[in-house]
Amino acid sequence: MLSNIGNSILFFNLLLSLSIIYFAFQELKRNYNFINKKIYYISLIQSTLIIICFFTLIAGFLISDFSINAVYQNSHSLKPTFYKISGTWGNHEGSLLLWVIILTIFSFLFLVTNKNHSKKYRVYTLITQNILIIGFIFFILFNSNPFDVIIPTPNEGLGLNPILQDPALAIHPPLLYLGFVGSSIYFSAAIASLLTNYSGHNFARSIKNWVLISWSFQTIGILAGSIWAYYELGWGGFWFWDPVENASLLPWFAMTALIHSLIVLEKRKQLYFWVIILCLLTFTLSVVGTFLVRSGILNSVHTFANDPSRGIYILIFLSLMIFGSLSILFKRFKSNTYNFNYNSKETFILVNNWFMIFYLFTVFLGTIYPIVTEVFYSQKISVGPPFYNTVIIPIVILFLFFMSIGPKVRWIKDNIDNLKTTLMILLGSVLINLFIFLFFKSYSLLSNLILISSIFLIISTARDAINLLKNKEYNISRIIAHFSFGLLILFIGLNYNFSSEKDFNLKVGEVKKFENFSIKFKDLNLKEFKNYKAVIGTFEIDDFKDNTKLFLSPQIRIYDNPSTLTYEASIRSGLLKDFYITMSNIDRSDYYNIKFQKKPFMVWIWISVILISLSGFLRFFKYENKIN
Amino acid sequence: MRVKTLILSFVIIMNISNVFANDINKNEIFKNIRCLICQGQSVADSNSDFAQTIKLVVNDLIDDGKSENEIYNFLIEKYGEWIVYKPPFNSFTSILWIFPYLAFIIGGVLIFLLINKRENR
């Protein structure tokens, strides 16, 4: 029943998209400067229906209708209600439906919020966006349909992977998708702008908010995934340069480059084609990311070969998208006259883009390279954290310095008169770094440079803030973003250098002493929960240095459906440091393997990223007020 | 001038103290080795038997006075390049290691040309 509703709505939406495209082309022939109400209505109906369609799937999960394939594959009648709902988008098929919802709603919102822009431009954006919608609905209907029916209806579902039953992971995909898929609208707008020769200034104004909002959501979405990885995967890290993580970072780099170069296009009417390329690139990278993650090609070329249909569909779609947009781009490309001075804001924004493209290229190469060597040389290699750290970190140091100096420079041309202050700030940063390693611990040259450059950025931005506050005309978002990026790098640097961990085996009643800690394994309890059993250990941790005592209780959970063992870390978060403990059983033994970690400034890493994302939202609301 | 001397002396002090931060870090090595039977985990983060064995092997090698690179080479010979997260530089991986820097340089040159174009006019 539910599956029929879902399927019919999807099919109907396909027809609606086609009709929008048809009516849109009709509109282009008419001379008046407004868009026919009919198109608004169809677009509204389309958005409403796709939301209903999504709720239909949620309903299927809520009532555990196992005749629906997606529900059978990813749910279980005993699962807590919250995770039944989040299970809706916690799988390939459901998340694709979420993808189409965002495509559709953004299409409608773009239509209604850009009334002061040229009609042709809006109509072409609508057409392109609906072509994308059709592509994805096709994919859902003929390849990855969450509403597929299973006959006969199974009595019970297979359950959701326990490590996905988690609040951070419940909100991670929707946030990330608002970023990922949100970028589709400026892909469409870029195509429309090319086709209609729309003025760069107006184009920049119309997409600015969309870039800001998708960037902010992308940032916070990446953070949600990172926090989840930190406490759920039990390893105490927050970023592993895993291909799946990289896939979310690639569009982020492109968006960040875009946010900056859009300013040049808006204020100085330059870089038009470069901005267009970045718009096209961002959404293309989002689809590439989806391809890499969903096709299974990342783990091994062989999983891809086992179930190639998904991957091949996305690959074809991707090729058509790239080919289509590139051919339009080349047709319309005109070489521009550029007018840059070496010491102008424009130049520094170009420098930002230069670094962003470097990061993007490096991460992209690192992510796909193992596939390349396996296919062409049948040589399996791993490209992990040490590669990215070696290649990227030295460049980040340079980047932070540019980031500190750049925003101070005026438009068109500036003189170098701030050299003295800059040197003073640099000296201050070196001093602070000196204090850190003299009083606490020494670290490598690279870490020294990272710390100095991030402190330099923080102080420079803070100083800008004070100066700009006097002038009354300031961009608070830029200051927050750059300041918190400095904080982020600083805290990552400190966290990296001051983390400590200890690995040992204990049985109940024993005490382990090391450095200034004493850890006592107090007791072990077995508890029954709704959908799992848990072995809960209690540990008493004494820190002689701070004279503090705390209790942590890591768990080993035994889930029945599907039957899995998970290890739950126990974390005490604090302003200065986190204590992190995991425990795992050792076969045929009373001993448990205990991993104790001290992770300084974790909270501040999260706060920095939240601030970065906030700066985007702030800019969005400020800009919104300016227009109205 | 005084400012410059100050900076210079600080940089020198820093470099001297860095020399002491160079001993072998076991955990750092474990983090750079892939646990072959796990899903995207390093040996440091895994509790599997495989990870435990590798940790013992690495400990032995450190006791034998082997350097970090010698340990990686030993493991690569045994398990293939798949086991290390930092791919060694060779004919297969030269593109991976060189292209990012090449892209960086090309980007820099492009921006330089763009700015200079105007200066010449």
Least confident of A63-72, A299-308, B48-57: A299-308
Out of A347, A381, A444, name the one closest to residue B87 (CB). Answer: A381
Its ipTM equals 0.86
Best of B104, B112, B116 to disrupt the A interface by mutation (most A CBs within 10 Å)? B104
A19: three-class secondary structure by DSSP: helix
Please judge whether B82 and A354 are an interchain contact, meaning their C-beta atoms are less than 8 angstroms apart.
no
Residues in A closer than 8 angstroms to B80, CB to CB, are 380
Residues in B closer than 8 angstroms to A357, CB to CB, are 103, 107
- Searching chain A, which residue's CA lies closest to the CA of residue B48? A586
Out of B39, B87, B101, name the one closest to residue A382 (CB). Answer: B87
- For the segment A279-291, the average pLDDT, to the nearest whole number, is 92
A181, A243 Cβ separation under 8 angstroms: no
Least confident of A159-168, B72-81, B85-94: A159-168
pLDDT band at B19 (very low <50, low <70, confident <90, very high): very low
Domain boundaries, chain A: 1-165, 172-332, 392-498, 500-603
DSSP single-letter state for residue A466: H
Please judge whether B7 and A567 are an interchain contact, meaning their C-beta atoms are less than 8 angstroms apart.
no
Please judge whether B111 and A347 are an interchain contact, meaning their C-beta atoms are less than 8 angstroms apart.
yes
**pLDDT 10s digits, A523-541:** 999 999 877 899 999 999 9
Structure tokens at A384: 């992990």
Best of A301, A378, A387, A440 to disrupt the B interface by mutation (most B CBs within 10 Å)? A387
What distance in Å separates the CA atoms of residue A350 and residue A343, rounded to the nearest whole number?
11
Residues in A closer than 8 angstroms to B33, CB to CB, are none
pLDDT at site A344: 78
pTM above 0.90, yes or no: yes
Out of A385, A501, A567, name the one closest to residue B85 (CB). Answer: A385
Residues in A closer than 8 angstroms to B39, CB to CB, are 299
- Searching chain A, which residue's CA lies closest to the CA of residue B118? A339
Best of A381, A439, A592 to disrupt the B interface by mutation (most B CBs within 10 Å)? A381
Higher pLDDT: A514 or B118? It is A514
Please, what CATH class does the domain formed by B24-88 belong to? mainly alpha
Mean pLDDT of chain B: 81
Domain boundaries, chain B: 24-88, 90-121
- For the segment B80-105, the average pLDDT, to the nearest whole number, is 91
Sign of torsion, CA A348 A351 A352 A353?
positive
Residues in A closer than 8 angstroms to B115, CB to CB, are 340-342, 347
Residues in A closer than 8 angstroms to B83, CB to CB, are 382
**pLDDT 10s digits, A93-138:** 898 999 999 999 999 999 999 888 999 999 999 999 999 999 999 9
Residues in B closer than 8 angstroms to A350, CB to CB, are 111, 114
Look-up of token digits 């340079």: A398
Look-up of token digits 């990885």: A229
Q: How many CB pairs under 8 A join A and B?
A: 134
pLDDT at site A18: 96
**pLDDT 10s digits, A367-379:** 999 888 888 888 8
DSSP B28-62: HHHHTBB-TTSSS-BGGG--SHHHHHHHHHHHHHH
Helix (H) or strand (E) holding A567: strand A564-568
pLDDT at site A268: 85
What distance in Å separates the CA atoms of residue B82 and residue A379, rounded to the nearest whole number?
8
Please judge whether A433 and B17 are an interchain contact, meaning their C-beta atoms are less than 8 angstroms apart.
no
